[in-house]
Structure formats: C-alpha cells, structure tokens
Amino acid sequence: MPLNNERPTSTSTVASEDQNSDTESSERCDSLTSCSDVDCSRQSFTSNSSSKHNSPSCSPPKPLTLDEVMASARDLSNLSLAHEIVVNHKFHLEPPELPQHSLEKRVKDIVHKAFWDCLEAELNEDPPEYDYAIKLLEEIRDTLLSFLNPGANRLRTQIMEVLDMDLIRQQADNNAVDIQGLASYIINTMGKFCAPVRDDDIKKLKEGSGDIVKLLKEIFRVLDLMKMDMVNFTIQSFRPELQRQSVEYERAKFQGILERTPGALDHTTEWIKASIEEASQLMPLADKSGDSGKGKKSLPGPILVLNTAFIKLLTWDESNGPLPETLMTDEVRLLEMQKSLKLYQAVASVLLIVCSSIGEPVSSLPALVDKLKKMTAVLLEGMHATEFNLTESLRNVSDLICCEINKSLGERNFPFLPAELQGTLKSLICDVALENNPMRTLVEARVQQYFRVVLASTSSLRAPTPVPPGLGLIQQELRALGARFSNLVNYNKKVYTPFYISILKTLLFDMQEPGANPQITHQPNGVQMSK
C-alpha cells in the first residue's frame, strides 16, 4: 500500500447504482453494435464452422462431481465480482456488519468481550502478564507488514526491529515491556499507510486516553478499516486493466461454467426461442416466386431477435421463469430498472389523464405539472412491491391532484373544478390500477416503442432518441433509463454474442421446411431461408 505522499483516495461512499454511474461506467461499450460488430455477428450466424465459445454440448447431461460444482461456483463468483467492478464505477467493499440481533453477532460479541476482558485482567495483575498482549502485537505487526509495497525494505526492517516478538517476550519475562510506547509507534506507522479518510481516526488514537486496553481495541478497529481501504484501493488500481480485458475474461469464465454444466444455457435458449416467435410477427411476408412460398414470413435476423429478447427483460416477472443465465450478473440492475420504469409509466399515465381531462388550466402551467409529477411519484414509490396497495395509493393521488388543481385555480381567481369533473377524474386515475386500462396500455406500448428505437440505434455519437408522443412528461427520466439499459445490453452482447449466435443458428434452422437445403440471404431486418 502506498505511503502518505501517495495514499489512496477514500472509498467510503456507499456502493450504489445510479444513472450517472451506469452511463459513465459503460461509455466504452456505446459502439458495441457498430457496423463491424453487426457484420461479425451476421458472419458468425451464417457460418457452418463451430467455435469454442458458441458450441453448447448436445450430448446427454452427465452427473456433476462435487469438484465440478465447486469449480463452477468459484467461476460464477469471480465472474460476478469482475463484472461488478467493470460496470459499476462506484463499486467498493464495505466492512461486513452482522444483523443486530442475530446469533452470529451475539456469539462474536461474547467472544470479543471475553478476549478483551482477559487482556485487561492480565495487564492489571501484579506483576502484569503479557500473553494476550504479545498475541495482539504480533497480529498488528503482520497487518502493518501486509500494507507495505514489495520495495519498502527500510520500513519493513524497522517494523520487524521495533515489533521483534522474541525481544518483547524477553522484556515481558523481566516486566520491562513498554506497551504504551509500542502503541505510540504503531499509531504513527498507521498514519503513514492510511488513506486520507482515516486521518481523523489516527488523530483520535494519538489523543487517546491512558487506558491501554481501550487504545488497543481502537487500534484494531482502525486497522480493520484500513484493510478494507486497501482492498478498495486495489480494486481501483486494477479496474482499468480489467476493463481492457473484461469481455474476454467474462466470456472465458462463462465458457468454463458451460463446459462443466451443459445445461447452463437452458433458460437463455427458452428466452431466445420466445423472442424469435415474437420477432417473427414483425417480419414482412417473404417474396418468393414459387407458389409454395406464398404467404410465409421471412425469419427474423439475429439483431432483431436479440433486441426483442432484451426488451422482454423490462417486463420480466416470475411467470416468465428464471432470468437467462447470461443476465445473472446484471439481475439487480435489471430489477432496479424494472422498478423505475414501472413507476415512470404509472406517473405518465396519471398525468396524461389529468392533462387530457382538465386541459389548458393544467397543461399551460409547467410548474404545476411538475409539482403534480413529483407528488405522484412520491405516493407511488414502491409500487413494485407485492404488498403495495396500488388502488388505494392512486385514490390518494387523485385527491391530492384535485386539491392542488383547485388551489392553482383559486390563486388565479378561476372557479374550482366541478364536483362531477372531480369525480370523473378520480375514477379515471384509480382505473390506472387495472391491467387493461387504455391509458396504461397506451403508455406501456409507447415505452416499448421507445426502447426498441434506442436499441436499434448503433451510433456511439447519436443524438438523444426522441420520446414518442405522450411521454414528454417523463422525457428526462426515460432518456436516462434508456441510456442505462442500452449500455447494459451492449456490454452483454459484446460478451455473450457467440453463445447467442449458436442458439439462434440451431433454433432458426429448426424452423425451416423439412428436407430443405438452407441458403441464407440477408434482408434489411431479417434473414430469409430458402431451398
């Protein structure tokens, strides 16, 4: 770990997933679906050659040994950690905290209290005993040495000389151990290693009371924090190199899992299969000269199928089964996006109902619309939870909206909304809770349309995608979410395209006529197979 003149910056910010970090962390993936990538994926799709990365085993599954299971678990853990470091610039580790009333925490507290009580009892004896104190000093010495860079030989030698355990044991036998002096040296040495964020802790240690047991306990607490700082500093140091190699690294790790677990792409295959069926409905009729080909649609191309598949993730729920295996490292991010999108859609539905029902008295006042938007978002926060009462919350939203509108009308000396209109407005807002509500269906369809356009755009320097009519009220939020989702999709494609192409080749070839000798021709949005 660097010394004071090159100390790591603080990493104490709580790890979070926000719009800025997602957009910032994946800027290098914006050009993922560039022309060369599309050409590459199409070339892979039409190729008959196999690849190490796109050849899932077709042989019957064999029983897995315990070693294979453990190796796959290690690969999955490493894959998840590496992916998180790459895509989340705010990722860092925090000291583990056990639940307050858990058995593990109670046992830990009891054991620690017993140790410190024994240390205090030993030092209070006449003459003092130093068995526990020597064990502590030895552990502190090893921790300090672990902070050193390989070339810090002078400081390493100094630490070994001052905290020479053999010498300290001899001093203990003669009741000549200067515990306070050793603690002072340890604190000064910690000050050379610590990150700037720990300066206040070091200062408090230097100003500590004469109670040596409390001082040693605080030294250990700060050392634990410094260990975590060192880990996070190491993560920051390795992040640029990991980013340069992340795609190949993640692909190789997943390939290792797939080789040991042949069924590791089962959910991904089902996800793509359902997306082929959905994308096929968007394809035009195939233009064939033979009568046998009339009325048949061209098969969708890989880009259309994959974009359709990723769009499905925005509304994924338990009824669709587990998430595809290739999205397991982004499960938390996808869930957060789903929650946000569900909230934005509900807010847009409510505001569209208000603006269309009331008209100019509301739509002509941007400040009022913005206030209604914030109020609605606050009251509907958490609507994704199963225990959330959406109907009751929408009823509260409708009451507040009518109240705010009447207040605004009164400030401008206009008459309040008629009671009949208020009743109709409240009823329309509450109906948003219904699955087949026309306004809700309209908003959701246009949101899907927006994300299709976002994913179809391949330019890394593209202008912001315009939102469809009616979604202007959530334009800012939708664009931020679109950028996050696009970055996630692009990076995922970069890593897993060989696996997707292999699955697509198998599924699309299975859909051709029996006995046909397939020839693949490209169309603007798809692939046509003919004899």
Find all residues with CB under 8 Å of 394, minimum gap 6, and list them: 350, 380, 429, 430, 432, 433
The distance of Cα 464 from the centroid of its chain, to the nearest Å, equals 23
Q: Order the strands of the 519-523 sheet from edge to edge.
A: 299-300, 526-530, 519-523
Domain boundaries, the chain: 103-243, 325-510
- Structure tokens given for 104: 């593990």
- Structure tokens given for 29: 């993936």
Burial of 479 (0-12, 13-18, 19+ CB in 10 A): middle
Note the pTM of the prediction, 2 decimals.
0.65
Going by the DSSP 8-state scheme, the letter that residue 505 receives in this structure is H
- Supply the pLDDT for residue 299: 76
- Supply the pLDDT for residue 474: 92
Handedness of CA 109, 110, 111, 113 (dihedral sign): positive
Q: What is the mean pLDDT of each run of 10 residues along the chain (531 residues)?
A: 44 40 43 38 39 43 51 60 70 72 83 87 86 90 88 89 91 87 91 87 83 88 88 77 80 86 88 89 60 61 90 88 89 92 94 88 86 93 88 93 90 87 93 91 93 79 78 92 91 92 85 48 39 37
Question: Checking DSSP bridges between strand 519-523 and strand 299-300, what pairing results, if any?
Answer: unpaired
